[in-house]
Chain A
Amino acid sequence: MTVMISFEAVSKHYENDAKNAVENFSLDVDEGELSVLVGPSGGGKTTILRMVNRMVEPSSGRVLVGGQDVAKVDRVELRRRTGYVIQQAGLFPHLKVADNVASVPRLLGWDKARVHARVNDMLDLVGLNPAEFAGRYPNELSGGQAQRVGVARALAGDPPVLLMDEPFGALDPIARARLQQEFLALQERLHKTVMFVTHDVDEAVVMGNRIAVISQGGRLQQYDTPAQVLGRPATSFVADFIGADRGLRRLAVTPIEVGDLYAPPVVSPKTTVAQALVAVEASGDHWAAVASEDGRLLGWVEPGQVASAPSDNGSSTVERYMRPVGAGVSLDSSLKAAFAEMLQQDAAWVPVFDHDRYLGVLTPDTLHAALRRSVGGEPVPV
């Protein structure tokens, strides 16, 4: 991975303030990475962000973009190739949506036809029908729509770097969640290098490839993946900031892996109860999954219970005593989804599928082990 944005021992001091706004801050953001700066309000996150496009000049240290010291680049040029999205979008109220989006391409001197095509592409990209929205004024948009236009405007000049300062902060929770997901989908396709400022831990965890936790005075406390930050907070500040319920947040950012799964004995539906009992006792467990020849999960059975029933001598097949399984989860979902399914079904385990293929089950114990695995802890034998 090449580094796209690099802060080298950057400090910012304001004359009328005894304390530094930003203190000896160093950070690398890889090309195509979405890096989140998260921390309490007034901690210097926005100041740090605005150093990238020279809206703020550092008192000492350097900021490099694409290996080039931004202090040596013309401000106006630099800003035209750096996208910038702010809270409440900051759209030009006197210009139509199309003209707002066309701002940077026009500053770059593109010809009319190219600007027009680009505006339509950008509106499509953010999910706004150009025919419907291009001619509207910002005061005719909802908060979510305005913010989409803000993103379209920031991307219109095709900048390699995108700066986002609490872009979804003013939206209601439902619109915010939707825009977060849409932006992540967009980022999958565009692979911009994004720096994203928020004070919301949940947003940071959802959005970031890596999260930089920043305390008052622009001090970097930890810079790592969401799973690491939540699972292994580097300092007591980080632990306090991400909160006591960080365990629950970790579930949301930890994907299920095949190695996490518990594999109960599997029997075919034609197995006799007596055979199943042998298999179950051999495994030290008390139940078995029932699966077809081609690996489809059909149900589960507790042969011990059945064998002790007076009506059965162990010679009937498990098919007869098989119990149905509830909905499982797919391998690409999070531990949180699996845990939610477990609670929903009031079950001690939940099956995990790769498409139709049954892979194994997650239990509370394996869930715990998966959480430890995600931060590089010693795996817990099940």
Chain B
Amino acid sequence: MNFFSQVAQFLTTSSNWTGTNGFLAQLGRQIELSAVAVVAAVLAGVGLGAFLGHTGRGSFVVLNSANAARAIPSFALVTLIAIQPGIVRLQQGGFVAAAITMFALAVPPILTNAYVGVRDVDPAVRSAAVAMGMTPRQVLRQVEIPLALPVVMAGVRTASVEVVATATLAAYVGVADLGFNIFAGLDTRNNAETFSGALMVAVLALLVDLLLAGAARAVTPEGTRRTTRAARQRGTGLMWRQAAARS
């Protein structure tokens, strides 16, 4: 039996889908873990990033620390949190340790994009908002954040795909998500099992990306969408030129 028919067989065996460690349960855990981490990162990152973009103060320190944190390998981080003596280690069978790690992974792109999105709002528009008598909070909520939303959503999308793909590491610290089959297959030298697990993660990541692309379009204010034929052609032309420049 060749490799791909082994994979097909693994994926079509119904006992691999059901039960506590079946694909469906794994999928649920993977999504739950990713969702908890991304939602927490949005709550922390969008507010802080938007505030930094609004005031411009302290942004250098915060953004650089966040981006430096990206250099820490998630694998090392999750292991470190799981083995450190203390309350976190055993809670929820490693879920908290994994969630903290995924949170750390998700914050930098969300924080950075929220900052850049708010900072890059047209100064004339911001100035008009202030001059007509909006309070700083009104400027942020009625003008800066709506205009920054597409960029914010792009950050959330990047973070979500990264987190969904990386959340497989949680299996290493005891959370039986989609990483379970990958690690189990590696242990037992069952390559078809490893591949099946990886395939599931890849499909999930693609679906999440597509879903959030749609969401990003939905939150882009209508007036700032480039919907005209001329704008579309400009966009296409630009992409084509960039592709040509790369090749």
Chain A residues with CB under 8 Å of chain B are 53, 55, 76-82, 84, 86-96, 103-104, 107, 137-140, 153-154, 157, 163
- In contact, B223 and A95 (Cβ under 8 angstroms): yes
- In contact, B223 and A103 (Cβ under 8 angstroms): no
A321 to chain B, nearest CB (A): 67
Contact of B132 among A84, A138, A139, A140 (CB under 8 A): A84
Beta-carbon nearest neighbor of A80 in chain B: B133
- In contact, B132 and A93 (Cβ under 8 angstroms): no
Set of chain A residues within 8 Å of B122, measured between Cβ atoms: 90, 93
Known contacts A93-B147, A103-B132; A138/B127 CB under 8 A: no
Set of chain B residues within 8 Å of A154, measured between Cβ atoms: 132
Beta-carbon nearest neighbor of B220 in chain A: A94
Interface size class of B (residues with CB under 8 A): 20 to 34
Contact of B131 among A84, A96, A140 (CB under 8 A): A84
B229 to chain A, nearest CB (A): 14
Beta-carbon nearest neighbor of B138 in chain A: A107
Set of chain B residues within 8 Å of A81, measured between Cβ atoms: 133
Mark out the residues of chain B between 81 and 129 whose CB falls within 8 Å of any chain A CB in the assembled complex. Answer: 122, 124-125, 127-129
- The CA-CA distance from A181 to B49 in the complex, in Å, is 46
A63 to chain B, nearest CB (A): 15
- In contact, B223 and A88 (Cβ under 8 angstroms): no
Beta-carbon nearest neighbor of B222 in chain A: A137
Chain B residues with CB under 8 Å of chain A are 122, 124-125, 127-135, 138, 143, 146-147, 221-224
- In contact, B223 and A80 (Cβ under 8 angstroms): no
Beta-carbon nearest neighbor of B147 in chain A: A94
- In contact, B133 and A104 (Cβ under 8 angstroms): yes
B129 to chain A, nearest CB (A): 7
- In contact, B223 and A137 (Cβ under 8 angstroms): yes
Known contacts A86-B124, A86-B127; A94/B132 CB under 8 A: no
Known contacts A96-B223, A137-B222, A138-B223; A90/B125 CB under 8 A: yes
Beta-carbon nearest neighbor of A163 in chain B: B131
- In contact, B132 and A107 (Cβ under 8 angstroms): yes
- In contact, A79 and B143 (Cβ under 8 angstroms): no
Set of chain B residues within 8 Å of A94, measured between Cβ atoms: 143, 146-147, 221-224
Contact of B143 among A78, A92, A139 (CB under 8 A): A92
Set of chain A residues within 8 Å of B127, measured between Cβ atoms: 55, 86, 90
- In contact, A139 and B133 (Cβ under 8 angstroms): no
- In contact, B223 and A139 (Cβ under 8 angstroms): yes
B93 to chain A, nearest CB (A): 45
- In contact, B133 and A76 (Cβ under 8 angstroms): yes
Provide a sorted-by-A list of 8 A–B residue pairs whose CB atoms are within 8 angstroms: A55-B127, A76-B134, A84-B132, A87-B124, A94-B146, A94-B221, A107-B133, A140-B223
- The CA-CA distance from A55 to B123 in the complex, in Å, is 13
- In contact, A90 and B224 (Cβ under 8 angstroms): no
Tell me if B's interface is mostly helix, strand, loop or mixed: helix
Beta-carbon nearest neighbor of A50 in chain B: B131
Known contacts A90-B125, A93-B147; A76/B135 CB under 8 A: yes
B230 to chain A, nearest CB (A): 12
Beta-carbon nearest neighbor of A53 in chain B: B131
A112 to chain B, nearest CB (A): 17
- The CA-CA distance from A82 to B132 in the complex, in Å, is 7
* Residue from A84, A90, A95, A163 with most neighbouring chain B CB atoms (10 Å): A90
- In contact, A88 and B131 (Cβ under 8 angstroms): no
A97 to chain B, nearest CB (A): 10
Set of chain B residues within 8 Å of A103, measured between Cβ atoms: 132
A150 to chain B, nearest CB (A): 8
- In contact, A84 and B128 (Cβ under 8 angstroms): yes
- In contact, A90 and B124 (Cβ under 8 angstroms): yes
- In contact, B128 and A90 (Cβ under 8 angstroms): yes
Beta-carbon nearest neighbor of B227 in chain A: A139
* Residue from A81, A93, A154 with most neighbouring chain B CB atoms (10 Å): A93
A164 to chain B, nearest CB (A): 12
Known contacts A76-B133, A153-B132; A91/B125 CB under 8 A: yes
- The CA-CA distance from A168 to B146 in the complex, in Å, is 28
- The CA-CA distance from A139 to B146 in the complex, in Å, is 16
- In contact, B222 and A79 (Cβ under 8 angstroms): no
10 pairs of A and B residues whose beta carbons are closest in the complex? A137-B223, A94-B221, A80-B133, A90-B128, A79-B133, A84-B131, A90-B124, A94-B146, A76-B133, A93-B223
Set of chain B residues within 8 Å of A93, measured between Cβ atoms: 122, 125, 147, 221, 223-224
Beta-carbon nearest neighbor of B131 in chain A: A84
B128 to chain A, nearest CB (A): 3
- The CA-CA distance from A92 to B122 in the complex, in Å, is 10
- In contact, A139 and B131 (Cβ under 8 angstroms): no
Known contacts A55-B130, A55-B131, A107-B132; A139/B124 CB under 8 A: no
* Residue from A87, A94, A103 with most neighbouring chain B CB atoms (10 Å): A94
Set of chain B residues within 8 Å of A107, measured between Cβ atoms: 132-134, 138
B232 to chain A, nearest CB (A): 14
- The CA-CA distance from A78 to B143 in the complex, in Å, is 20
- The CA-CA distance from A90 to B134 in the complex, in Å, is 14
Set of chain A residues within 8 Å of B223, measured between Cβ atoms: 93-96, 137-140
Set of chain A residues within 8 Å of B143, measured between Cβ atoms: 92, 94
A94 to chain B, nearest CB (A): 3
- The CA-CA distance from A9 to B126 in the complex, in Å, is 30
B203 to chain A, nearest CB (A): 35
Set of chain A residues within 8 Å of B128, measured between Cβ atoms: 84, 86, 89-92
B127 to chain A, nearest CB (A): 6
B4 to chain A, nearest CB (A): 50
* Residue from A86, A103, A154 with most neighbouring chain B CB atoms (10 Å): A103
B71 to chain A, nearest CB (A): 35
